[in-house]
Every structure is written in structure tokens, then in C-alpha cells.
Amino acid sequence: MRYLKALLFVFLPLNFAGCGKTASPPPQTTLTVFAAASLTESFTDIGKQFESANPQVNVAFNFAGSQQLRSQIEAGAAADVFASANEKEMATAEGESLVKADTIHDFAHNRLVVIFPKDNPAKIASLNNLGKPGIKIDLADPSVPVGKYSLAMLDKIAADPAFGANYKTQFLANIVSREENVKAVLSKIRLGEADAGVVYVTDVTPDAAQQVGTLDVPGTFNQIAKYPIAVLTHAPQPDLAAKFEDFVLSDSGQQILHHYNFLPAGAGGQ
């Protein structure tokens, strides 16, 4: 009898422990964020911190050109949050009632920089060099926010008499490719497929800086890109979407954006 009691004492706890292992973990809720390609690194970090603070949430990102994201939302793609690299795409989304107007907020600013392959085969040393014959320039398509900003930058440079009357014509003649988003421009310059390109300052991450050099664009010519964020009208997870937006606007979210060289939303001027 004592032997039987001893066996029961040994095996019962093991059985209880085994029962504990069969318990199902709480279900995960997916929050889908459509964000401009230039936000890839910063929003990936923001997503990780948001998940840490909300263990049952999985943040799924779709990074692409802002115009592509807006088109996908128009076509019925399911998403909770839209973060654009310009106000135009957000305004279009608002006009079509795709986002909740009272949730639209600017959360960051950005600026442009010229990049070239690290070995700099075309010897790019100044903005003047971009108008020299034979220089291969890669830009984002004008339908992409950074592409539009790049052309606005060109207009400002061309208006300066110091660059000559033919500068804009020569610059445009040097464009060999137009990309669908800013990361594609960065990739081609990293691979040496063009002599120079225009991206956001935030795209030149420490990793990218190993393969590209940079040429600053003076404030007189630079463009300030404004980044708005909003909750979608038909967001599957509206409460979580609002919570994610609040996190982006919070001190913690802003610190991450600052780490990736974004300017605060309140920053003005050139």
C-alpha cells in the first residue's frame, strides 16, 4: 500500500504538469500598416517596440511607394494604418473617404541628399557635376513622392544663375532610369548601375553608407518632405490602429524616428 501511495505521489504532479502543456496560447491579432518605403527601417523598429508593449499583437508591414499604397487601398486592400511620404497621397485618400479625417497627423519630416557609388567613378563633387554630359542619374518616378521632390529641387537649382541656363536640360538628359520607390534608387546606386541618385537623408543608413557616398543639398534647394499618418476608415482593427498611431506620435516613437535622422514634424524651413 505504501508503495502504491508513493507511485501516486510521483505520477500525479507529472500528469498535472502535462495538462498545463496542452493549454493554447492566446490568439494573435494582426495589425496591418501600409507605410512609405523610406520608413522601412524606422517603422520596423517601431513595430517591434509596439509588439513588445502589446504581446498579443503582430504588426504586419507593407512598404512601397506612397502612391502605390494609396492605389492598393483604393482597390480594397485590407489595412489599418496608412503612413505616407507626402501630403498629396494622404489628401487623395481623405478625399475618397479612405482614411478617418480626424486621425490625420504629420509625424515626421525628411529632406533630400544626392548619393553616388562609394568609388565615385563619375567624380561627383558638386551639384554642378550632375549637369555634365555623360553622367548617369537615377531618380524615382515623378509619381513617387521622392521623385516629385527631386524635380522640385532641380527647379530651384536651375533658377540659380550660378548653374547656367542649360543646367536643367542637361540634368534631365542624364536621367537613365526612373524607379517605383526610393529604395530602388538606393539599390541601383549601391550596385553601381548609375553615377548619382537622389534619395532621402534617412535612406543612407550605416549599412548603406558602406557602399554610397553623399553630397549634401543646400537648404536653398532642398525640399522638406512631410509625412502624415492616419487610421483607415474600414480598418479591421480600428482601436489598435489608433493605438499604433499614438505610439508613433509619442516620445518613444519620435525618438526612434530621430535615431533614423527624421526631422520632427514641427521642424520647418529648409
For the stretch 113-158, pLDDT in tens is 999 999 999 999 999 999 999 999 999 999 999 999 999 999 999 9
For residue 52 the three cell numbers come to 513588445
Residue 62 domain-assigned (yes or no): yes
Residue 193 domain-assigned (yes or no): yes
For residue 128 the three cell numbers come to 554642378
Residue 5 domain-assigned (yes or no): no
The residue among 34, 196, 21, 175 whose CA lies nearest residue 113 is 196
Q: Percent of the chain at pLDDT above 90? A: 87
Q: Residue 213 forms beta bridges with which residues? A: 116
pLDDT above 50 for 25: yes
145 and 49 in one domain? Answer: no
Residue 269 domain-assigned (yes or no): no
The residue among 153 and 26 whose pLDDT is bigger is 153
Total tally of structural domains belonging to the chain: 2
102 and 51 in one domain? Answer: yes
The residue among 72, 102, 60, 68 whose CA lies nearest residue 85 is 68
> In CATH, what number is assigned to the domain containing residue 162?
3.40.190.10
The residue among 251, 247, 249, 250 whose CA lies nearest residue 51 is 247
Can you tell me whether residue 259 is helix, strand or coil? helix
Cα torsion angle, 61, 144, 246, 49, sign: positive
pLDDT at 98: 98
The residue among 184, 187, 186, 189 whose CA lies nearest residue 136 is 189
Residue 99 domain-assigned (yes or no): yes
Single-letter code of the amino acid located at 19: C
> Which residues, 6+ apart, have CB-to-CB distance to 224 below 8 Å?
109, 110, 111, 263, 267, 268, 269, 270
Residue 180 domain-assigned (yes or no): yes
212 and 129 in one domain? Answer: yes
Least confident of 13-27, 35-49, 231-245: 13-27
191 and 156 in one domain? Answer: yes
201 and 231 in one domain? Answer: no
95 and 36 in one domain? Answer: yes
Which residue has cell 493554447? Answer: 24
121 and 94 in one domain? Answer: no
Residue 158 domain-assigned (yes or no): yes
Average per-residue pLDDT for the chain: 91
207 and 180 in one domain? Answer: yes
Residues 266/260, Cβ–Cβ less than 8 Å: no
Per residue in 146-197, pLDDT tens?
999 999 999 999 999 999 999 999 999 999 999 999 999 999 999 999 999 9
232 and 196 in one domain? Answer: no
Find the domain containing 137 and state its range: 112-216
Residues 197/138, Cβ–Cβ less than 8 Å: yes
86 and 176 in one domain? Answer: no
Averaged pLDDT for residues 83-105: 97
200 and 233 in one domain? Answer: no
Residues 189/197, Cβ–Cβ less than 8 Å: yes
105 and 145 in one domain? Answer: no
Residue 17 domain-assigned (yes or no): no
